[in-house]
């Protein structure tokens, strides 16, 4: 078993954080995990991405050409990574920040107005958790309880009061995609 | 202790601290800087020495001074900084002092890129500094292995009064993986017999790298060499995957090795009998392991993130007994498993020995890819 | 021969304990020997021999560790202040000093010395300025005087091409981290006595934990200056001192009351 998720968006959209939550959750399930950031030229222009590889055996390559899932937080990310999603994989699109439909038909396209749903919760910075909630509801890469545990672990200190609202955001994203 | 998520650069810093590191000196350089930053808060908190030097020249010479006092000391840097440290490394080797260097390698030459590379192989393994000296060089492939190797490197450096280098591809410094930290060792209270401490008369100690008498210098060189022979005997490390029935072997270290692992699994799934030898100690080089692989398989594919530096060492060991091919990405580009898989498939389809130098044939194949 | 009765005589001069009883490799008339002696006397008088670690550099004084009778390490060219920093930070209760020439300290090692002064590193620097690279046979140094002939400025230092001597004491005295900076000369007994006092002040600075201290010692190099020792001393007085004025360039207020 191995799955790979590439999360991409503008700096400040919580891309790297979302990847770390997945890494914590994978650890909670006693799985192997590698979180790998893009750095260097790709970071220019304020975009950021990271790849999270989750496996039940020693992980080889930390970056993959065809990830099982892509979370595209904005249009440049969709343009860049849509073609890379592995056939049969998942493409989560933050439709709030994207003005076009997906072109692929051989993958699961999950369209979620992440930023708008986040604003309903009072904080548009929660869009990342909404999209992750949607992805996990469909892909079942990780169990909801391990994600909850991961949020507890990755939001410590002053950020701890953000745990509940992130849990709510994850659920909102999951509910949204199930209701479609 | 339970596993926690650690970023490579911070993980090796904490591992060094737990190994009883007493003094760290460094200079900011991407992609290593998180280690310096981590040290800047952790070391003073523990009452240990941290100093940001004026340059990598300053840093390595502060390490030199600290090592003279017999403490556990280290620095970390990235490739251009390593080049600057070569002077100090040669002096430290000649003074027979233990120290640890973590080199988080980025693409070169020159200022190059800040992306992962293995372009420091030659300057570390074959000595970028002047004279005959032999650092121990290990190349881990993940965060846990980095932690374990850095933790043990101080003991090795002290055992052989040698420089211990941990060469991390930039990718490993920047990635996050679960790792279990080893227990915190107590900082050593005693100091080695040879260390300076402030003493005069018969207690006077001199630590120097100069001896203008060539006959004496020759003796010292021989002493270093003989000590190195012990290292070669005792400290070789490597990992093997799927080698039992392999007819094709990949040889790759660090990140290149673990990317190759993904390709090997994919090839195995397609029924190709391929395995992987991942050297961990680059110096001493796993000569015997490579010889055994060469005797077992029909084809070897060396995979690196440089233009074939370790390739030369493999060729030297294999001595034409097996066909050796090469695949590399250069300048800070990481290969994808698919690229290595394609090489494996190509070799499996035509395993006959190649005609020409593996690097020349690789240039022919890679040039259109690079210029695409 | 009449045996001298020495028991009623006062000892006014003897071999310092901290100076090893060996002959040096320095040329006749060179002032390194005087500088060594002054440092050794100060260390003896302050009772520091069991607490001192010296840092030798590259140049004529590379082997100074053979002449001082206490712990020494030897640094790469120009790096002595960095190496001394490493020693001092790990042994803060020890007295750590570097002994460097002009090429070492203010040419190849300019970065390290300025950084050490800026940090207020609690070390002492003995800086020997003889206006040339002595060890390699008398090439132009950053301290070579305008018009001065050396083996690499055979027609005399041409300031249009190679600029002007670097005034290290003046430069380092601008650093907040520096607490004692002085320039002295070793060309006659009066100046030698003044030099010793400055060296004492520099080590007192370190003992008091006040930060960086340096004494620049103008030194003769009869061999490479192609002069007799006496003429070298005269040349020093007439040519070098006007360019490199003797004086205290920085004295920390906590030292101003100190009498040595």
A27 interaction partners in chain B (CB closer than 8 Å):
3, 5, 178
CA-to-CA distance for B29 and B288, rounded, in angstroms?
A: 37
Length of chain B: 372
Contact B205 C71 (CB under 8 A): yes
Confidence (pLDDT) at A180: 84
C49 interaction partners in chain B (CB closer than 8 Å):
200
Contact C85 B58 (CB under 8 A): yes
Closest CB to A60 among B3, B114, B262:
B262
What's B3-234's CATH class?
A: alpha beta
B261 interaction partners in chain A (CB closer than 8 Å):
58, 60-61
The parts of chain A modelled with pLDDT lower than 70 are 39-46
* Residue B23: closest C-alpha in chain C: C90
User: Which residue blocks in B270-371 are alpha helix, DSSP H?
Assistant: 287-296, 309-318, 337-349, 358-370
What's A2-179's CATH class?
A: alpha beta
Q: Comparing C-alpha atoms, which of C125, C122, C119, C111 is closest to residue C56?
A: C125
The parts of chain B modelled with pLDDT lower than 50 are none
B260 interaction partners in chain A (CB closer than 8 Å):
60
Beta strands in C62-204 (DSSP E): 72-74, 95-101, 124-129, 132-133, 139-140, 178-185
- In whole numbers, what is the pLDDT of chain C averaged over residues? 95
Q: How far is B191 from chain C (nearest CA, A)?
A: 12
Q: How far is B254 from chain A (nearest CA, A)?
A: 11
Tell the burial category of C139 from Cβ atoms under 10 Å away from its Cβ (0-12, 13-18, 19+): middle
- DSSP β-ladder status, B274-279 and B248-251: parallel
Q: How far is A3 from chain B (nearest CA, A)?
A: 13
CA-to-CA distance for C136 and C149, rounded, in angstroms?
A: 15
Q: Which helix (H) or strand (E) holds B215?
A: helix B214-234
Q: Comparing C-alpha atoms, which of B32, B39, B28, B26 is closest to residue B8?
A: B32
Q: How far is B72 from chain C (nearest CA, A)?
A: 10
Confidence (pLDDT) at A39: 60
Asked if residues B306 and B330 have their Cβ atoms less than 8 Å apart, the reply is yes
Asked if residues B260 and B276 have their Cβ atoms less than 8 Å apart, the reply is yes
Interface residues of A toward B, Cβ cutoff 8 Å, are 20, 23-24, 27, 32-37, 39-41, 58-65
What's B238-370's CATH class?
A: alpha beta
pLDDT tens sequence across B284-332: 999 999 999 999 999 999 999 999 999 999 999 999 999 999 999 999 9
SS (HEC) of C40-52: HHHHHHCCCHHHE
Contact B198 C95 (CB under 8 A): yes
The torsion angles phi and psi of B304, rounded to 5 degrees, stand at -145, 165
Closest CB to A40 among B115, B175, B265:
B115
Three-state DSSP class for C171? helix
Q: How far is B108 from chain A (nearest CA, A)?
A: 14
CA-to-CA distance for B258 and B139, rounded, in angstroms?
A: 12
CA-to-CA distance for C144 and C131, rounded, in angstroms?
A: 4
Do at least 3 CB pairs under 8 Å connect B with C?
Answer: yes
Confidence of residue C2 (pLDDT cuts 50, 70, 90): low
pLDDT tens sequence across C225-235: 999 999 999 99
The DSSP output letter for B333 is: P
CA-to-CA distance for B141 and B172, rounded, in angstroms?
A: 7
Partners for C (CB, 8 Å, 3+ pairs)?
B
- DSSP β-ladder status, B299-304 and B248-251: parallel
Length of chain A: 180
CA angle (B314 as vertex; B313, B319 as ends), nearest 5:
105
Confidence (pLDDT) at A12: 84
Confidence (pLDDT) at C259: 84
**Token pair of B77, please?**
């840097």
**Average pLDDT of the residues in C180-189:** 98
Residue ranges of the domains in chain B? Answer: 3-234, 238-370
A64 interaction partners in chain B (CB closer than 8 Å):
336-337
Closest CB to B66 among C71, C87, C115:
C87
Confidence (pLDDT) at C254: 94
**Token pair of B170, please?**
């930039």
Beta strands in C104-228 (DSSP E): 124-129, 132-133, 139-140, 178-185, 212-218
Q: How far is C85 from chain B (nearest CA, A)?
A: 6
Closest CB to C86 among B62, B199, B205:
B62
C73 interaction partners in chain B (CB closer than 8 Å):
64-65, 68, 95, 196, 206-208
Asked if residues C253 and C260 have their Cβ atoms less than 8 Å apart, the reply is no
Q: Return the number of CB contacts < 8 Å for A and B.
A: 67
Q: Which helix (H) or strand (E) holds A154?
A: helix A144-154
- Taking residue A65's Cβ as centre, other Cβ atoms within 10 Å add up to 12
Confidence (pLDDT) at A45: 56
Q: Any long-range contacts for C40-44 (C-beta under 8 Å, 24+ apart)?
A: C40/C16, C40/C68, C40/C69, C41/C16, C41/C196, C42/C196, C42/C199, C42/C200, C42/C203, C43/C16, C43/C18, C43/C70, C43/C95, C43/C203, C44/C16, C44/C17, C44/C18
Res C43 pLDDT > 70: yes
pTM: 0.95
Q: How far is B133 from chain A (nearest CA, A)?
A: 34
CA-to-CA distance for C51 and C70, rounded, in angstroms?
A: 9
Asked if residues B78 and B27 have their Cβ atoms less than 8 Å apart, the reply is no
CA-to-CA distance for C186 and C34, rounded, in angstroms?
A: 7
Domains B3-234 and B238-370 belong to one CATH topology: yes
Residue ranges of the domains in chain A? Answer: 2-179
Asked if residues B238 and B281 have their Cβ atoms less than 8 Å apart, the reply is yes
Contact C72 B206 (CB under 8 A): yes
| Domains of chain C by start residue, with CATH | 32-253 (3.40.50.970)
Res C7 pLDDT > 80: no
Kindly provide the ipTM of the predicted complex, given to two decimals. Answer: 0.94
Closest CB to C71 among B53, B58, B204:
B204
Closest CB to A20 among B115, B176, B262:
B176
């Amino acid at each position: 078993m191995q799955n790979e998720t590439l999360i991409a968006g503008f700096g400040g959209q919580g891309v790297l954080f979302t990847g770390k939550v997945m890494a914590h959750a994978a650890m909670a399930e006693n799985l192997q995990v590698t979180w790998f950031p893009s750095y260097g030229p790709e970071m220019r222009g304020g975009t950021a991405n990271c790849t999270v590889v989750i496996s039940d055996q020693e992980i080889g390559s930390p970056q993959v050409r065809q990830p099982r899932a892509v979370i595209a937080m904005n249009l440049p990310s969709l343009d860049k990574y849509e073609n890379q999603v592995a056939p049969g994989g998942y493409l989560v699109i933050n439709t709030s920040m994207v003005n076009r439909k997906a072109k692929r038909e051989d993958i699961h396209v999950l369209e979620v107005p992440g930023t708008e749903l986040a604003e309903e919760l009072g904080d548009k910075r929660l869009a990342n958790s909404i999209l992750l909630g949607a992805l996990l509801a469909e892909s079942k890469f990780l169990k909801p309880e391990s994600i909850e545990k991961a949020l507890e672990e990755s939001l410590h200190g002053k950020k701890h009061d953000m745990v509940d609202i992130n849990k709510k955001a994850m659920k909102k994203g999951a509910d949204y995609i199930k209701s479609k | 202790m339970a596993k926690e998520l650690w970023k490579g650069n911070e993980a090796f810093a904490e591992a060094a601290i737990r190994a009883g590191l007493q003094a760290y000196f460094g200079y900011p350089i991407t992609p290593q800087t998180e280690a310096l930053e981590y040290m800047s808060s952790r070391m003073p908190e523990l009452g240990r020495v941290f100093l940001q030097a004026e340059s990598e020249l300053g840093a390595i010479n502060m390490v030199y001074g600290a090592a003279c006092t017999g403490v556990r000391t280290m620095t970390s840097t990235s490739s251009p900084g390593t080049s600057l440290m070569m002077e100090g490394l040669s002096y430290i080797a000649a003074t027979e002092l233990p120290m640890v260097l973590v080199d988080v390698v980025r693409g070169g030459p020159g200022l190059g890129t800040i992306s992962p590379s293995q372009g420091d192989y030659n300057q570390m393994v074959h000595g970028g500094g002047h004279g005959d000296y032999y650092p121990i060089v290990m190349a881990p492939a993940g965060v846990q292995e980095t932690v374990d190797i850095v933790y043990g490197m101080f003991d090795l450096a002290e055992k052989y009064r040698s420089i211990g280098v941990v060469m991390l591809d930039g990718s490993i410094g920047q990635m996050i993986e679960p790792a279990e930290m080893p227990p915190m060792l107590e900082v050593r209270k005693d100091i080695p017999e040879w260390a300076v401490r402030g003493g005069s008369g018969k207690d006077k100690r001199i630590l120097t790298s100069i001896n203008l008498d060539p006959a004496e210098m020759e003796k010292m060189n021989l002493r270093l060499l003989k000590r190195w022979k012990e290292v070669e005997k005792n400290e070789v490390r490597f990992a093997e995957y799927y080698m039992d029935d392999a007819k094709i072997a990949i040889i790759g270290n660090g990140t290149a090795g673990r990317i190759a692992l993904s390709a090997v699994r994919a090839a195995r799934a397609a029924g190709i009998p391929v395995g992987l030898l991942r050297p961990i100690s680059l110096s001493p080089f796993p000569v015997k392991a490579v010889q055994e692989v060469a005797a077992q398989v029909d084809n070897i594919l060396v995979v690196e993130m440089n233009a074939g530096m370790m390739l030369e060492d493999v060729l030297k060991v294999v001595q034409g007994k097996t066909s050796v091919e090469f695949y590399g990405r250069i300048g800070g580009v990481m290969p994808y498993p698919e690229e290595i898989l394609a090489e494996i498939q190509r070799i499996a389809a035509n395993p006959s020995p190649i005609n020409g130098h593996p690097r020349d044939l690789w240039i022919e194949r890679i040039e259109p890819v690079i210029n695409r | 021969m009449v045996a001298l009765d020495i028991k009623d005589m006062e000892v006014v001069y003897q071999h310092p304990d901290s100076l090893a009883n060996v002959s040096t490799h320095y040329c006749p008339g060179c002032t390194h020997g005087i500088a060594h002696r002054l440092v050794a006397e100060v260390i003896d008088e302050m009772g520091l021999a069991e607490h001192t670690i010296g840092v030798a550099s590259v140049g004529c004084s590379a082997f100074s560790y053979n002449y001082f009778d206490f712990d020494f390490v030897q640094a790469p060219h120009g790096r002595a202040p960095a190496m001394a920093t490493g020693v001092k930070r790990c042994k803060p209760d020890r007295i750590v000093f570097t002994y460097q020439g002009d090429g070492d300290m203010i040419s190849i090692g300019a970065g390290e010395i300025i950084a050490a002064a800026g940090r207020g590193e609690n070390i002492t620097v003995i800086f020997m300025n003889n206006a040339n690279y002595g060890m390699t046979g008398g090439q132009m140094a950053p301290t070579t005087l305008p018009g001065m002939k050396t083996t690499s400025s055979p027609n005399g230092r041409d300031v249009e091409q190679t600029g002007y001597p670097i005034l290290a004491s003046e430069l380092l005295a601008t650093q907040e981290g520096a607490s004692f900076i002085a320039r002295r000369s070793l060309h006659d007994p009066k100046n030698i006595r003044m030099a010793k006092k400055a060296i004492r002040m520099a080590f007192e600075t370190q003992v008091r934990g006040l930060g960086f201290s340096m004494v620049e010692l103008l030194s003769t190099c009869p061999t490479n200056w192609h002069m007799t020792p006496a003429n070298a001393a005269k040349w020093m007085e007439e040519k070098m001192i006007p360019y490199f004025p003797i004086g205290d360039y920085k004295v920390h207020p906590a030292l101003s009351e100190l009498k040595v």
